[in-house]
Amino acid sequence: MNIHEFQAKELFARYGIPVPRGRAVKTARAAEKWAAALDTSVYVVKAQIHAGGRGKAGGVKITQTKDEVPTLAQNILGKTLVTHQTGPKGRKVRRLLIEEGVGIAKELYLGLLVDRATGSPTFIASTEGGMEIEEVAEQTPEKVIRETIDPAVGFHGYNGRNLAFALGAPVLDKPVMKALQSLLDNVYRLFMEKNASLVEINPLVVTTDQRLVALDGKVAFDDNALCKHPDIQAFRDLHEEEPLEIEAGAYNLNYVKLDGDIGCMVNGAGLAMATMDVIKLAGAAPANFLDVGGGATKETVAAGFRILLKDRKVKGIFINIFGGIVRCERIAHGVIEAAKEVGITLPVVVRLQGTNAEEGRALLAESGVNVDVATDLWEAAQKIVAMKGKKRKS
């Protein structure tokens, strides 16, 4: 789960990570009132959406006059920002962060995530703050610094010193070095205690008066651990998330919406990837990734089927199940139940192989539900691509 910048900074403040004074607002009037209370020499007006590249899209404005803040706020609120992370549809701005500016001497990059190669939390830092770290890694990889933390030992002073000396002059002055040690320790505590998958500060600035301040913040969390953190769940912004993905999560289904028109229901991530590949090979594109899992029941299958039918872009549905732990007749029962409940007006191709596959195919054939059954993967993919978009009686 992702959260907004102002929410990330709220967490930073809880964990002793320095941030500028700021407040989230939803109206120009609220922006005006907060600007008057803030009373600073520089005001920053920042759109709050779950995407990077806001500044380039016109979502970040700076002014030295508090009277300009409500006008800037009015211009950004309600605007649809299109960035490299939003896709062509963009994201509508419903909330702003109004905060004070700070005097910047140097911009750094700092991130913490799990390195899959080592299985350990790893700090990533760079002197090239303010830039996309992927861009820095591609163009100047020598400027990307890594420090792996042993999770059995935790963060220690030498980890901070390793990063400080690798970063060089910007943080080697005694006040900044001390502040960096404290900040890194606090970032690590936040990451571990809240089951984060990413904590990113870009830029982390060294100010003209030798302080460290998190000027921007991005935090993402492991969805599987959210049940332990009701305070983090409260940060969820349903406007920023795909409604079908939220609904799928309620049924413990692994669902990701894509841009194609063939709805997919598969058990197992590997088979799901292969299914999406074969749909592309047959000349269409998948509308989603939907893994019902090895322990699927007819209830979860029915829920998944309903979710596929709610996607208006879907012109055909391909159900591809290899029965191992899950039995194919369970899948068949779920398809039949969902089909009778909502009615099927789209082409549906079901491929069942493995445990009780013949029984599942027989159930579908005898149910009277308007679906096509296939046994071969390539045959099934070609069939659904050829049939997509053709209306049929429910």
Query: What residues are labeled active site?
Result: 109, 200
Q: 20-53: string of b/e by CB count within 10 Å (b at 16+)?
A: bebbbbeebebbbbbbeebeeeebbbbbbbbbbb
Q: What are the structure tokens assigned to 88, written together?
A: 């062509």
Nearest-10 Cα torsion for 168, 172, 176, 179: 90
Euclidean distance between CA atoms 190 and 114, whole angstroms:
14
* Beta carbons within 8 Å of 168's beta carbon, 6+ residues apart: 127
Q: What are the structure tokens assigned to 117, written together?
A: 């190669």
Tell me which DSSP letter residue 325 carries. Answer: S
Strands 212-214 and 196-207: antiparallel
CA angle 261, 252, 243 (to 5 degrees): 50
Q: What are the structure tokens assigned to 116, written together?
A: 């899959």
What radius of gyration, in Å, describes the C-alpha atoms of the chain?
A: 25
63 near 69, Cβ under 8 Å? yes
